[in-house]
A and B are shown apart, each in its own frame.
Chain A
Amino acid sequence: MDMTRNNASKGKERGIFQNPFDAAPTGPDETPLTADGTALESRGLHLYYGETHALKGIDLGMPARRITALIGPSGCGKSTYLRCFNRMNDMIEGVRVEGKVIVEGADVYRPDVDLELLRKRVGMVFQKSNPFPMSIRENISFGPRMTGVRGRGKIDEIVERSLRQADLWEEVRDRLDHSALDLSGGQQQRLCIARALANEPDILLLDEPASALDPISTAKIEETLLQLKKLYTIIIVTHNLQQAARIADLTAFFMLGEVVEVDDTTTMFTNPSEAITEEYITGRFG
């Protein structure tokens, strides 16, 4: 497993328990967030929905400032796994988690975790775009305002920066006060990406962000993600294998709640080590 290639030693510690309001944007210097370059990690992660054993001991690490794709057939647990990193599974009644989920070196299931700060650091974009019934500006500034950012000038700055990063600024700059619900489907999804970026997160979790979009909108999102990977650690769940092949540095193949194989994307798609991975990638099932 070639997970820790960027073995840089100049990592800085920015755990979610320290400097709770230190949200300075991370520079494009490719500095890994932890000493070994792993931004996200899970060790022996088991998750149960009541009696259902959904994740069966996942051990996985994901490098900083890279795109990691999670692929696998429906119901294999990849979305559930993704939602462990910002603890969105907490919302579901009867979920039980065992093992460790480590974000920037800190276990997010520790009882003293600041949940709001965690979710600010670990942004998420959902499968179905979910802009709030407000103006574009209000949508983008929602996160910062909820976490205490004040001041019109500062907010405007955040709105512009986030929209630019999500490659939406040119399209909406003249109608920031129009309802976000008037945007097209692809624009709405990029708005959701911009909204997550407005919080200045370190990590971006994307749960099939392009599955409901047309090919042009999808291409636009992929382009955006390739730009964003210079600044952010990106984990993307996708059903679209070509998409994974196009944008991911690393790919993990999930099946029945377990990780079958994880490798460099190129290796994974040209020379997988497991037979079942090859069957899935070549479209024999899935």
Chain B
Amino acid sequence: MPDSESRACSFADAGSGLPSGLPGLWITALATLAVLLMLAALLWIVAVNAFGWFWPARVSEIALDDGTIRIGIVVAREALPTIDDGDASEAHRIQLKVGSRELTRADFVWLDESEIVGGTTPEDLVRVVRSEYGDAFGRIVGAIDAAGASVDVSSGRALEGLLETGKRWHSERRGLEGERDRVRRPLTRLEERLDLLERSARAQTPQGKHEMAALETAVADEGARLASRLDGLQTDLDDLEERLRSSRLMLATGQAELEVPLGHVIEVVWANRLGFLGRCAHALRGGVLFLFTDPREANTEGGIFPALFGTVLLVLLMSVAVVPLGVVTAVYMTEYARPGMLLRLAGQAVNNLAGVPSIVFGMFGLAFFIYEVGGAVDHTFFSDKLPTPTFGTGGMLWASLTLALLTVPVVVVATREGLLAVPRNWREGSLALGATRWQTLRRIILPAAMPGILTGLILAVSRAAGEVAPLMLTGAVKLAPTLPVDGMPPFLHLQRKFMHLGFHIYDVSMQSPNVEAAKPMAFATTLVLLLLVILLNLTAIVVRRRLRRAYQGQVV
């Protein structure tokens, strides 16, 4: 069609050569692209780094020109830093994770590539995941069972049997320890009461002394009553411990021969024998274990379960607190307050609250919730435990309330918008039918504003799940001995300190004794935090969508 083409040309030529509006299109499109790329890069970097934590890498055996052998996992490769600008810039070095911290004090070594004479990945090399001193890499050259007899490791079956036995003993030990604690619980409680009494001011009063004497007798009686059962359990445990200690694996690490007691062995991985599917299965299992086990070795090993649990519970409690507070505030501001200067000021104040740095909320939570409110609660209800604070110290309750305060502006703003969007004729219709204002609010306006309220909640949850600064002041800790929920009445212990994913990331990457080893763990935790926030958001979005659908289809 030459006609139309020439016409198009004449249009294009008529202008300055560049169609108007095109630079604007380019600039905006490029900016959008940059934003999307950055988002993708963020997810990619976190995911790739986290993946390294779960993927079972090959174990290499590297021979150096001085005759030494190093066994481990190749982690990184980089150009050798040069001092002068000679031709040495071609040289590289590799970083090898050799583990066995008790031998070399460091998990990682740098090896100059020019010194390497050979590298192989034989199938008999293993990675031993241990409960102490981190991973060990090497070759199993021997084993000793509980009776002191040597096990023939050349036949895989005998070794497997030993490892199975070790696993069984591990679970038996867990069971025995649990039972011991259960049997001892009445005695433990009495001791705790006595301990609290001894440290309180009442210990000096005659009545307090009397109570203490009574408690001491009770402790002695209870101890005598439980003695035989506890002794029996302890004997069994000691016996098991002895077996776990005396049966050992001999591991040739290249540097030395390590004796690893079965009690320390969590898992033996023949990483070089695994096929692709085996690796995938291993990674998947690792991921699940990561989510649902406790951390070990100052958080550098093991899982993140307490942190995950703490984060979810914190966000839930925060939601329970923030929704009523935010919604009631928004309802007053939109439905009842007289429009004017004062309302505008209040609205601005709420908006500005959203811009206050979160650490300021942390300070407020510390000063007001913990010292003032918590202190008062302790004086009123837990005075027998003083000076040991119960609520007068950081904990789940105060942290969630602090977060609720931090996120309340978001909920207020979103709810107000939701309320204002409710069609005026629904209100009029309801009032014209003889409904009171309160009935109209409850039956018509609030249900119709629900999508807005949920939008607020989504934003609040997103913000709260990622906050760390205020939590550091109000109760997040590196390692919490107990979860805030357990089988002891009242089951939900809001005064307890807790672990949190965000704080865990900071702790693992900045405060860890072994930063290099913990790096992938930090990324894995970051990935979990990201996924958690996304999951919480998705849930709320799905709910909101369902609700919105109920209000669609309005004709005319």
Contact = CB atoms under 8 A, between A and B. Distances in A.
Interface string A139-151: 0001100110000
Contacts of B1: none
B432 A124 contact: yes
B555 A116 contact: no
B556 A185 contact: yes
B232 interface: no
Nearest to A129: B556
B426 A146 contact: no
B435 interface: yes
Contact of A88 (B432, B435, B550, B551): B432
Interface stretch (B213-221, B368-376, B436-444): B436-444
Interface in B416-433: 423, 425-433
A88 B555 contact: no
A88 B431 contact: yes
B434 interface: yes
B434 A199 contact: yes
B448 interface: yes
Nearest to B425: A130
A128 B556 contact: yes
B86 interface: no
Given A128-B425, A128-B556, A142 B443 contact: yes
Interface string A180-192: 0111110010001
B24 interface: no
A275 interface: no
A130 B428 contact: yes
Contacts of B15: none
Interface in A44-94: 86, 88, 91, 93
Interface in A123-145: 123-124, 126, 128-133, 142-143
B434 A117 contact: yes
Contacts of A131: 554
Given A130-B423, A133-B554, A119 B448 contact: no
Interface residues of B, number: 26
A188 B433 contact: no
A93 B343 CA distance: 15
B552 interface: yes
A9 B555 CA distance: 47
Contact of A132 (B430, B436, B556): B430
A182 B549 CA distance: 12
Task: Give the secondary structure class of B's interface.
Answer: helix
B447 to A, nearest CB: 8
Contacts of B339: 93
Contact of B432 (A86, A179, A183): A86
Given A126-B428, A192-B429, A133 B435 contact: no
Interface string B249-290: 000000000000000000000000000000000000000000
B81 interface: no
A195 interface: yes
B337 to A, nearest CB: 12
B67 interface: no
A100 interface: no
Contacts of A219: none
B434 A119 contact: yes
Contacts of A86: 432
Nearest to B547: A133
A206 to B, nearest CB: 12
A133 B432 contact: no
B556 A212 contact: yes
A121 B164 CA distance: 83
A142 B428 CA distance: 13
Contact of B434 (A133, A147, A182, A184): A147
A117 B427 CA distance: 17
A259 interface: no
A141 to B, nearest CB: 10
B21 interface: no
Given A181-B552, A182-B553, A212-B556, A126 B435 contact: no
A120 interface: yes
A146 B434 contact: yes
Contacts of A183: 555
B551 A133 contact: yes
B433 A119 contact: yes
A203 interface: no
A143 B428 contact: no
A24 to B, nearest CB: 16
Contacts of A146: 430, 433-436, 439, 443
A244 interface: no
A196 B429 CA distance: 9
Contacts of A93: 339
Contact of A133 (B427, B428, B431, B550): B550
A128 B425 CA distance: 8
Nearest to A179: B553
Given A181-B552, A182-B553, A119 B431 contact: yes
Contact of A91 (B428, B447, B552, B556): B428
A128 B428 CA distance: 11
Contacts of A185: 555-556
Given A88-B428, A143-B434, A195-B433, A133 B555 contact: no
Contacts of A132: 426, 429-430, 444
A131 B426 CA distance: 7
B69 to A, nearest CB: 75
Contact of B433 (A128, A143, A179): A143
B554 A123 contact: no
Contact of B435 (A116, A182, A188, A196): A116
Shortest 8 CB-CB contacts between residues of A and residues of B: A120-B434, A143-B433, A130-B425, A146-B435, A124-B432, A130-B429, A119-B434, A181-B553
12 contacts: A88-B431, A88-B432, A91-B428, A123-B432, A130-B428, A133-B551, A146-B430, A146-B436, A181-B555, A182-B553, A183-B555, A188-B556
Given A119-B432, A133-B550, 12 more contacts: A88-B431, A91-B428, A116-B435, A123-B432, A128-B556, A132-B429, A132-B444, A133-B551, A143-B434, A181-B551, A181-B553, A196-B433
Interface of A: 86, 88, 91, 93, 116-120, 123-124, 126, 128-133, 142-143, 146-147, 179, 181-185, 188, 192, 195-196, 199, 212
